[in-house]
Amino acid sequence: MRGYLAHLRVERGLSPHTLSAYERDLARYTRYLRHSGVHDPASATPEHVSSFLEALRTGADGARTLAVSSASRTLTAVRGWHRFLLEEGTTSEDPAAGVRPPQLGRRLPKALSIEEVGRLLEAAGSGDSPVSLRDRALLEVLYATGARISEAVGLVVDDLDPGSGVLRLFGKGRKERVVPVGGYAWTALEAYLVRGRPVLAEKGRGVPEVFLNTLGRPLSRQSAWAVLQAAARRAGLSGGQDVAGQRHVSPHTLRHSFATHLLSGGADIRVVQEMLGHASVTTTQVYTKVTVDHLREVYATSHPRARD
């Protein structure tokens, strides 16, 4: 297992966060095998893998039950490990090859409207303090580029190219992509870099990351998440999932909104795929369903014979 995790880290370039999740998944799987009398991966059978998948959904192994998405991720780790063992010659068969992950329900992304995004960004940093300038710049970048939260907090100063109007992001597997940035985001970034970041950096040790906390250290994913939540509350967009009329706003909400608004505005899906960093256009196509709903709404309110 250590060899597989090293392979994922070195050759696949997976992040420490993803590696930690894979390690937990595989630890649960190997515990299940041991309790089933299997002490060598070469002795595992398709039935063992299938029954483990069932245990993930029922908690029959004594651990917590998992949602379909989490069970699917765990099975992906198991399948990858067995495939690695086969390719390395450690085993002669792959018992997980024929076990399929549970089907995920197809949920459409929840995007904010353009007006709601405007309110969110205005609420992000209304003052001129270093923290307010940072918060506004962070959320402007998230919406302007469709970046994942980990990609945004991982930005370093050398990744910014104001002259060309682009910045460089490093996605899953450290895959690099270059994304254009709009004028609003550049204005917010420049204000932060000139008047905010130097003040925050005084307390640190000269780290290269763009977004810093009040101690001059790189802003964490959790802190960036909290910045968004605070702005959403101030904008009246998020008060918890149980508050009527309000919605749960996450970092991915801005990513969804970025893609949906581009496609609604006529952007080519291949271009949006490139900017999102999706390996396959199939992943990006889920956003087209959102824009089809918009088309239906426009048709229903505009065509003279659309209504009964």
Three-state SS sequence of the chain: CHHHHHHHHHCCCCCHHHHHHHHHHHHHHHHHHHHCCCCCHHHCCHHHHHHHHHHHHHCCCCCCCCCHHHHHHHHHHHHHHHHHHHHCCCCCCCCCCCCCCCCCCCCCCCCCCHHHHHHHHHHHCCCCCHHHHHHHHHHHHHHHHCCCHHHHHCCEHHHEECCCCEEEEECHHHCEEEEECCHHHHHHHHHHHHHHHHHHHCCCCCCCECCECCCCCECCHHHHHHHHHHHHHHCCCCCCCCCCCCCCCCHHHHHHHHHHHHHHCCCCHHHHHHHHCCCCHHHHCHHHHHHHHHHHHHHHHHCCCCCC
Active site residues: 148, 172, 252, 255, 278, 287
Domain locations along the chain: 2-87, 114-299
pLDDT tens for 232-265 read 999 988 644 433 344 578 888 888 888 888 888 8
pLDDT tens for 10-55 read 888 888 888 999 999 999 999 999 999 999 999 999 999 999 999 9
pLDDT tens for 93-102 read 999 999 988 7
**Residue 105 binned pLDDT confidence (cut-offs 50, 70, 90):** low
CATH code, residues 114-299: 1.10.443.10
Architecture of domain 2-87: Orthogonal Bundle (1.10)
